[in-house]
A = this chain, B = another copy of it.
């Protein structure tokens, strides 16, 4: 009463694209597992780490800027910055030019934390990527940059 397995598409453009989607997803999953392990070891989720890291490398950012960089919803950023603020790692400051808006910025404690853990995070990423040599990594960067940019510019499919 069960159905026979259906064959995958075999025309080269579709078969190749599907295969690329699979290996791309798996690669991100494997790399992200290393990245995540390196942040949870310090009591931060990946997303919390991403916020601290953005503020660390860019300086104070409007909440909306942080959101667009890291999340889909604005509600999420309020929630996350609340949590980081409660832990004393981040604070909100007002924006002079627009009284609706608020900056998020690192507190001294938040700055000390991210300054301390970022190097080991970067090292974890470097190790996770070490299956490819430097030249291959550069080639992968070029290919993925094109792939991502073109896909982002494409209108969503109609079906």
| Complex partner residue of A28 from B28, B33, B127, B140, CB under 8 angstroms | B28
Task: Please give the count of copies of this chain that the complex contains.
Answer: 2
- Count chain A residues whose beta carbon lies closer than 8 angstroms to a beta carbon of B: 77
Asked whether A43 is an interface residue with its Cβ less than 8 Å from the other chain, the reply is no
| Complex partner residue of A57 from B6, B31, B60, CB under 8 angstroms | B6
Asked whether A150 is an interface residue with its Cβ less than 8 Å from the other chain, the reply is yes
Given A125-B21, A151-B128, A159-B123, the answer on whether A137 and B16 have CB atoms closer than 8 Å is yes
Chain B nearest CB from A3 CB (Å) reads 5
Instruction: Pick from A34-42, A77-85, A94-102 the stretch touching chain B.
Output: A34-42
Given A111-B3, A126-B13, A154-B128, the answer on whether A20 and B120 have CB atoms closer than 8 Å is no
